Amino acid sequence: MTARATGSLSRRMILIAAAWITLLLAGGGFALDRVLASAVTQNADDQLEYVMTALIVSSEIGPDGEVIFTREAADQRFLEPGSGLYWQVSAPGREPFPSRSLWDRRLAYGAPHHDRGVHSYDSLQFGDERLRVVERDVRLPGSNVRWRFQVAQSRSGLDAQIAVIRRTLVRSFALLALGLIVLAALQTFYGLWPLRQVRAEIARMRAGASTRVSAAMPEEVQPMVEELNALIEHNERQAEEARRHAGNLAHALKTPLTVIMNAATAQADDLADTVIREARTMRRQVDHHLARARAVGRRGSAHSRADVWPSVESVERAVARLYRHVRIDVDGPKDLAVHVERQDLDEMLGNLIENAAKYGGGSVFVTVTSQAGFVEILVEDDGTGIPAEERTRIFDRGVRLDTGKPGTGLGLAIVRDVAEIYEGSVSLEESEDLGGLLVRLRLPAASGVTPPA
């Protein structure tokens, strides 16, 4: 089944980068706009406050208690009606004293101030002309009245400056955002280029032009390439093993089939016995190769795991029912596990413990230990043992040293082959405690939590 694509990785990375860049620049632009607008407004307020201070310094109380100026304001716009720059001096119950630029309009007095500070604010009192007003209440020498000095200026010029700054910010940040997004796209395209190389290498392998991904890759991609090459090598090894086992099985079945065919063609008198004998031979071969095929097929699972103690107990109970005269003792930690499928572990232990019960003298001792990343299972019996010169030959298929008891001669051969498939080993030694044979089965240990069934 073809795997379903979940969208473009490049597009996903570019969209994330674009969204983040837009968010950051929008937040930064808004903050910078506020700062610059406040700075421009503060500068305008400072200028108006300077004019207002000059008016206060040049003012004094006249003979009739009115405010008079010892010198006129220097800015000519105060003399031009509707010029956009105005001043006014007023007090509660007194006639306001305005600049000529106000003409027939007057600035609103507003609420009284109880401090000597400068107050600035925006005003819409002139309708279509927005004003920026700076005012301060002052008590002049020789007067008990708190006079309010006000200087106002149309916001049109101030707003125009802020608009220019805002347009410049928007254009600059938009250009910066575009440049950063293009940079992110280029970075994404260049950063993911090794994955396109891996895809091209896999296409070459599928076309038969190569057998491995051999192109140099960045450090982040190289581990994936190594795992991919290891997977390919593992599959090739499994395929080669399957071909070899199929050839071995075909070769092993060829001779018995030839014998049966010759006996049937010659209509031999012992045809039935010949068929039974050769059928048993073929069955032994088929059982052997099926066991290997099952182990090879399950070896690729990364979750292959079996707890040793439950498997040992299960096999011990089964063998004890077949050989009721045999005493089987088991010892060792109960929390060990191996990187082997449970069915294969049961088959190996079944062969070893059954052989010990069958050929021993009535006592079997099974010990489970842990040794440097491996789990060792020792199966000892009190039988006659196996001579050292025969311990290698006994692993050959069909070899039996005791022909007086039923069997196929494939037990130890199957144990050896299955153990080697899981990168383990099996060896024969002499038991020091029982005096018979000691079989040492060594399998890779598993760690961690047992995966759920």
> Out of 34-38, 117-121, 240-244, 374-378, which region has the weakest mean confidence (pLDDT)?
240-244
Q: Which CATH number fits domain 14-162: 3.30.450, 3.30.460, 3.30.70, 3.30.300?
A: 3.30.450
Q: Residue 452 has what pLDDT?
A: 40
Query: Per-residue b/e over 103-138, b at no fewer than 16 CB within 10 Å?
Result: eeeebeeeeeeeeeebebeebeebeeeebbbbbbbb
The third-level CATH classification (topology) of the domain covering 303-444 is Heat Shock Protein 90 (3.30.565)
For residues 132 and 153, the answer to whether their CB atoms sit within 8 Å is yes
Query: Where do the DSSP E strands lie in 358-451?
Result: 363-371, 374-381, 425-430, 437-444
Q: How far apart are CA 279 and CA 287, in angstroms?
A: 12
Is the confidence at residue 114, as pLDDT, over 50?
yes
Question: What is the spatial distance between Cα 246 and Cα 347, in angstroms, rounded to a whole number?
Answer: 22
Under DSSP, the state recorded for 449 is: P
pLDDT, position 404: 41
Per the CB < 8 A criterion, the answer to whether 146 and 157 are in contact is: no
Residues 6+ apart with CB under 8 A from 60: 67, 68, 69, 70, 140, 141, 142
User: Which residue type does 90 have?
Assistant: S
Residues 376, 439 contacting (CB under 8 angstroms): no
Residues of CATH 3.30.450 domain(s) within the chain? Answer: 14-162
Residue ranges, comma separated, of all CATH 3.30.565.10 domains in the chain are 303-444
Is pTM beyond 0.85? Reply is: no
What percentage of the chain carries pLDDT values higher than 90? 36
Query: 441: which strand partners?
Result: 377, 426
pLDDT in tens, 335-347: 999 988 888 888 8
What does the alpha-carbon distance between residue 163 and residue 82 come to, in Å, rounded to a whole number?
A: 23
